[in-house]
Structure formats: structure tokens, C-alpha cells
Amino acid sequence: MIKRLAIALLLVALTACQRTPTPAELEGLVIEVPGLQRAAPLNQDIPAAQWPDALKRLAPKRVYNTADGLYIVTSSFFVSEQGIFVPRNMQVPPLGSDPAYTPIGLGFYSYRIEG
């Protein structure tokens, strides 16, 4: 019984970590993120000191830039990760892929990596 309760609480906690940004938050990101994406080196974490205000307000755990786009990590647990993805010039893979991408508006996607 205790084991089931612990698993249920863990699942609730993991689900609660992912929230979709509001339209106002996305608008702020539309203005500030492209410059960060262009300026940041590829395949490296972007230090929090370099995050624009709109990004800081989301309180991400980590932000990193890849050839595919910018990943804003809002939650991670072992090898799984989720957050917001800003594609560079990539066609987002179809449903059922890993990472999985879901459009949330204004060219942004939520993503989930199961590992």
C-alpha cells in the first residue's frame, strides 16, 4: 500500500512540473528568445546570467541550444526531461517519437524526452 502511494505521489509530482506557458509568457519569449538562440553556442548550456527576463520568469532548470533548436528544461527526472522547445529550422517529428513535441502556439512546442 505504501509503495503504491509513493508511486502515485511521484507521478502527480512529475505531472505537476509541466505547465504550459500563458499567451503573455509566449509573447515575451517570441521577442527575447531568437536573439539568445542566435548568439548562444551550440550544444552547450546557456548560463542563467544570460537568460532574458521572459525566460527567467519561467524559472527553467536548464536551457541549452542545439542545431535543431533551443530547449528550455522545466522538469527532469533521471533520463526523462520536459519543457519548451523553440525550433531553429526543423520540422518537428510526428506524434509517437522521442522526443515528443506538441505545438503550444507562436512557433513554440512543449516537448518530452522519455529516455
The answer to whether position 54 is within a domain reads yes
Confidence band (pLDDT; 50, 70, 90) for 6? very low
* Domain coverage including residue 84: 20-113
Asked whether residue 11 is domain-assigned, the answer is no
Determine, yes or no, domain membership for 73.
yes
In a domain, 98, yes or no: yes
pLDDT score for 10 = 35
Is 0.85 topped by the overall pTM?
A: no
pLDDT (tens digit per residue) in 7-59: 333 333 334 445 788 888 889 999 999 999 999 999 999 999 999 999 999 99
Quote the pLDDT of residue 66: 93
Number of domains in the chain: 1
**7 belongs to a structural domain:** no
Q: 104: helix, coil or strand? A: strand
Q: Give the number of other CB atoms < 10 A from CB of residue 12.
A: 10
Structural domain includes residue 42 = yes
